[in-house]
C-alpha cells in the first residue's frame, strides 16, 4: 500500500485557516500534519489523494488543502489554548474554544463535501474515485445520491456523510429490507421504505462514527450547550440513536402490516377461513 504524501505546510495553514497566529512555526504543528493527511486520505483513497496533491491550481487540490488545513487547526487549537494558559500568554473561555473548534470543523466538512462533489462531477479525470468500493456499491442501494438521502433525512446535503455512510446503508438494507419485493410497491410505500432506510442509517452512524464525521445538524443535536463535554456528547448521541432505531423499526412494522393487509372484499388468509365453501361450518346471521 502506498504511503500518504505529506504536502501541506505551515505556510498553507497561515494562508488559509482563519485566526491563525502568524508566528506559528512548522515544528509546532508537525505532530498534527500526518494525522490530518491520513484522515483525509482515508476518505478518498491514498492513491487518489497522492495524485491530487501533485496537481497545480485545480479545484480538487484547493479543496484537499483546505480540508487538511482546517482539520489540523481543529486538533491543534486545544493544544494551543492550553499552552497559552500555562505560559500566561493568554486565556480562553471554554465556550470560545468550542466555538473556534466548531468553526474549523465546519470549514473542514465543507471542503470535504466540495472535494467529493468535484470527484463525482469529473469521472473522466478522477477514474480512481469510481473504482472505490463505496462508489461501486451505489447501484445496490435504495438511496443512491446525497440529495435523495437528504430528502428522507436531513444531513445538510453532505456528500461526505453520504459516502461515509454507504456501508451502513448497505447493512440496513441487508438486515431490514432484504426479502421485500420493492418492485411491487406503490410510490408512497417506497418513499416510506426509503425514509426507514435513511433513519436507521443515521441511527447506526451516531453509534459508529466519530463526532467529526457527523454533519452540523447531527453534531448540534448531540450538543449540550456551551459546557458540553465528551461524555455528554457520547450519551446524547447514543440516546438519539436509540430514538431513531425505535422510530425506524416501528415505521417498518407499520409498513409490513399495511403490505400484509388484504384488499377490501378479499378473503383473509387463514388456515380456518370460515368463508371458504370447502369448510364444514358456516356462520349465519
User: What are the pLDDT digits (tens) for 68-100?
Assistant: 999 999 999 887 777 766 666 667 777 787 888
Cell, residue 111: 471542503
d(CA 202, CA 248): 10
Rg of the chain (C-alpha set): 25
Classify 226 as helix, strand or coil: strand
Nearest 10 degrees: CA dihedral of 183, 143, 222, 85? 170
The 10s digit of each residue's pLDDT in 250-279 is 999 999 999 887 665 555 555 555 555 555
User: Looking at the predicted structure, is the pLDDT value of residue 226 above 80?
Assistant: no
Q: Rounded mean pLDDT of 121-130?
A: 92
Q: What is the pLDDT of residue 227?
A: 37
Q: pLDDT tens across 32-75, in order?
A: 999 999 999 999 999 999 999 999 999 999 999 999 999 999 99
Please state, rounded to an integer, the average pLDDT across all residues of the chain: 87
pLDDT higher than 60, residue 215: yes
Q: Give exposure, 40-62, as e/b (b: 16+ Cβ within 10 Å).
A: bbebbbbebbbbbbeeeeeebbb
**CA 121, CA 146: separation in Å to the nearest integer?**
13
**What pLDDT, on the 0 to 100 scale, is given for residue 232?**
67
Amino acid at each position: 500500500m502506498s504511503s500518504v504524501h505529506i504536502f501541506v505546510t505551515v505556510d498553507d495553514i497561515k494562508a488559509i485557516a482563519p485566526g491563525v497566529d502568524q508566528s506559528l512555526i512548522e515544528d509546532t504543528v508537525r505532530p498534527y500534519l500526518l494525522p490530518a493527511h491520513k484522515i483525509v486520505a482515508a476518505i478518498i483513497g491514498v492513491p487518489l489523494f497522492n495524485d491530487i496533491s501533485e496537481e497545480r491550481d485545480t479545484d480538487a487540490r484547493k479543496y484537499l488543502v483546505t480540508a487538511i488545513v482546517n482539520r489540523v487547526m481543529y486538533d491543534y487549537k486545544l493544544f494551543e489554548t492550553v499552552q497559552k494558559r500555562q505560559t500566561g500568554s493568554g486565556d480562553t473561555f471554554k465556550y470560545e474554544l468550542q466555538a473556534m473548534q466548531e468553526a474549523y470543523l465546519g470549514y473542514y466538512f465543507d471542503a470535504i463535501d466540495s472535494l467529493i462533489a468535484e470527484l463525482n462531477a469529473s469521472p473522466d479525470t478522477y477514474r480512481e474515485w469510481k473504482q472505490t468500493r463505496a462508489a461501486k456499491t451505489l447501484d445496490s442501494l435504495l438511496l443512491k445520491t446525497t440529495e435523495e438521502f437528504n430528502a428522507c433525512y436531513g444531513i445538510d446535503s453532505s456528500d461526505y456523510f453520504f459516502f461515509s455512510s454507504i456501508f451502513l446503508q448497505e447493512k440496513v438494507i441487508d438486515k431490514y429490507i432484504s426479502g421485500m419485493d420493492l418492485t411491487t410497491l406503490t410510490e408512497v410505500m417506497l418513499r416510506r421504505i426509503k425514509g426507514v432506510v435513511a433513519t436507521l442509517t443515521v441511527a447506526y452512524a451516531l453509534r459508529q462514527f466519530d463526532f467529526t464525521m457527523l454533519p452540523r445538524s447531527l453534531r448540534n443535536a448531540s450538543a449540550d450547550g456551551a459546557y458540553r463535554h465528551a461524555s455528554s456528547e457520547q450519551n446524547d448521541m447514543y440516546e438519539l440513536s436509540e430514538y431513531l432505531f425505535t422510530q425506524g423499526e416501528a415505521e417498518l412494522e407499520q409498513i409490513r402490516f399495511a403490505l400484509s393487509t388484504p384488499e377490501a372484499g378479499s378473503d383473509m388468509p387463514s388456515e380456518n377461513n370460515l368463508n371458504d365453501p370447502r369448510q364444514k361450518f358456516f356462520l349465519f346471521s
